[in-house]
Copies of this chain bind each other. A is one copy, B any other.
Amino acid sequence: MAKVVFRPSGKTIECEVGDNLLEVARRADVFIEAPCNGSKSCGKCKVKLLTGEVSQEVSSHLTDEDKANGYILACCTTIIGDIEVLTNSSLDVAMRGMKVEGGDKAKDKALFDKAVEIAENHNIKLENNIKKTCITLDEPTLDDNISDVDRLERHISMNFGKQMTYDIEVLKVIPKAFRKNNFEITITYREFDDRLEIIDVEPGNTESELYGLAIDIGTTSVVVCLVNMITNEVVEKGASGNGQLQFGADVINRIVYAIKKNNIEKAKAAVVDDTLNMLINELVKASGVKRNNIVSVVASGNTTMSTLFLGIFPDYLRLEPFIPPFFKSPKLNAKEVGLDINPSAGVYLSPNVASYVGGDITSGVLASGIWANEENVLFIDLGTNGEIVFGNQDFMMSCACSAGPAFEGGGISCGMRASAGAIDSVDIDPETLVPELNTIDGEPAIGICGSGIIDLICEMLKKKVIDRRGKIHRDLNNERIRFDENDIGEYVLAFAKDHDHLDDDLFITEVDIDNFIRTKGAIYSGAATLVESLGMDFDCVDKVYIAGGIGNHLNIENSVFIGLLPDIDRDKFQYIGNSSLIGSYLTLLSDEAKAKLEEIGEIMTYVELSVYPTYMDEFISCCFLPHTNIDAFPSVKAILEG
């Protein structure tokens, strides 16, 4: 046996000699980022050995300097005795970090308002069947001694002309609720044509306390809006990294983790308990709203996230012929899902379309209003998985490409989520090659998020730091350009020596750039293939909606320059934010939106790119800046050759 102490938390666990350090950290519930899920390919699970000895496999992900400073990779480390390790780098915290902000102050309020406007302009009213009504029951006597439930049923039958249904959780609160305020109670219910489904019974008049949650379960980030269901206002909004990040950066790694013995429940707990319930806790604290007054939930996530959220075996999602367990989920309540709100709250998952086009996309399409458009819209969700929809009010086709987590900071040396301290836009001085960095909330830079990486690579290409293959020019003599022992080049954004808050330099390597080029290539080639599959080309596209959590500073010009987006009229592009979240919000508040969402799920078709004949060739052509065929990017060609 050996003892492992994890710093800074001080968590301690006994384990066997011979155990793997990453596995031990997971057993101890210590968060270590591991985008490749311990397959030794990403080098992200770097921790510092403070005391003791370990046995290590050699890894190219550790530099000589890392080794000199005591860094080890958890996945490559075998425990041979008692040790103490330091796990939390500032980047880990940034990936996981939780943030709550008032809904009014939220920067994206305009995007929510816009989506509501589109919906209302197309006859989708923000109305739903969840209601609260304060009623006073007759007090029981020896002569009127029917049961509590029958008393409520009698009132509802007489006053609503309807039957009622209820569950065991409602039954549990009834006896005390009836008697706390002399049989004056407030019932929370869903009203149907023939019945009331009772969700809660509270003493006294609580008619004004009616809340719901609109949720986006991203592979990398999770966002929860606490919504006042009477005023439709977003009361608080909270975001954090998905607790499953420790099990891999992308859906494939998550699936591989989850199908191992007993891991499904752990994968579920990582998102439900460690992420959603933590966020709910923060939202409840910040708002003063009672948990039990949160009575409805709409969550949108990709098919893997939806599957793991419910604790369902996900393996067949990734095995041909790629079959999801469900498109539409069954009727669910908070208790069976494990959300720490009113146990009888309904939980609705946006419908999936295929293994790799999920509820986040149907929800995003709802929010974007493609379904109401006469023109052809290309919808691109830049997430860990890149999903693309092409369509209008008459048809919708979708496809998915494994973009990888680069847009959300994954697979990039200094990448991070779009949260405070993330570099979200970059300019490079053509002479000195010194970068001008903008960060989210103006906080000291601790990493770089998706929009920053786009800018950075564009600027490096424009300022001739890299060539069109993404390789750093060898003839530059600048302190920011350096090469390691394997001749892999890197460009430094910020030197630790100049910034007290940095332990290490912030930099981007040729390996990072290569990762990113494959990511942007996957998106472009997916979009091109989808449009082409209909016998069209990008000239037929009237609008391009860009969705995703890559940050608010997505620079369209730069995105075209690197070949992420097609070189068409810039006015056609529109950034629509986290459309998955906004779709959840619409669905939470509007039964008509929910019906529209289900219709979208049913009419959307899916193209499986992995078996599409020309996709692979197109992808390879895209692994270049902006593209091997520069003529497809005339505006870029003009600048590069001009």
Contacts and interface: CB of A to CB of B under 8 A. Distances in A.
Interface in A301-342: 310-313, 315-316, 320-332, 335-337
Given A142-B608, A142-B611, A336-B168, A313 B175 contact: yes
Contact of A310 (B140, B171, B311, B608): B171
A168 B310 contact: yes
A478 interface: no
A41 to B, nearest CB: 28
Given A176-B313, A179-B316, A321-B141, A327 B171 contact: no
B147 A327 contact: yes
A88 interface: no
A355 to B, nearest CB: 8
Given A146-B327, A148-B326, A311 B172 contact: yes
A167 B330 contact: yes
B323 A171 contact: no
B148 A323 contact: yes
Contact of A326 (B171, B176, B322, B336): B171
A352 interface: yes
Prevailing SS type, chain A contact patch: loop
A329 B608 CA distance: 49
A354 interface: yes
Contacts of A176: 313
A106 B47 CA distance: 66
A191 to B, nearest CB: 18
A604 B326 CA distance: 47
A325 B147 contact: yes
A598 to B, nearest CB: 13
Interface string A231-261: 0000000000000000000000000000000
Contact of A325 (B175, B327, B336): B175
B321 A145 contact: yes
A150 interface: yes
Contacts of A141: 321
Contact of A174 (B145, B325, B352, B611): B325
Range of interface residues on chain A? 35 or more
B149 A312 contact: no
B175 A312 contact: yes
Nearest to A176: B313
B330 A171 contact: yes
Contact of A312 (B145, B165, B171, B606): B171
A160 interface: no
Interface in A35-57: none
Contacts of A335: 336
A166 interface: yes
Contacts of A142: 320-322, 608, 611
Interface in A144-163: 145-150
Contact of A172 (B313, B322, B327, B332): B313
A59 to B, nearest CB: 35
Most chain-B CB neighbours within 10 Å: which of A147, A332, A335? A147
Nearest to A335: B336
Contacts of A352: 147
Given A175-B312, A312-B175, A313-B176, A323 B168 contact: no
A533 to B, nearest CB: 15
A321 B140 contact: yes
Contacts of A311: 172
Given A141-B321, A172-B311, 12 more contacts: A142-B321, A145-B321, A147-B352, A148-B323, A148-B324, A149-B325, A150-B326, A168-B330, A168-B336, A170-B330, A171-B325, A174-B325
Interface of A: 140-142, 145-150, 165-168, 170-172, 174-176, 179, 310-313, 315-316, 320-332, 335-337, 352, 354, 606, 608, 611
Closest 10 CB pairs of A and B: A149-B326, A142-B321, A147-B324, A147-B327, A175-B313, A140-B323, A147-B326, A148-B325, A175-B325, A145-B321
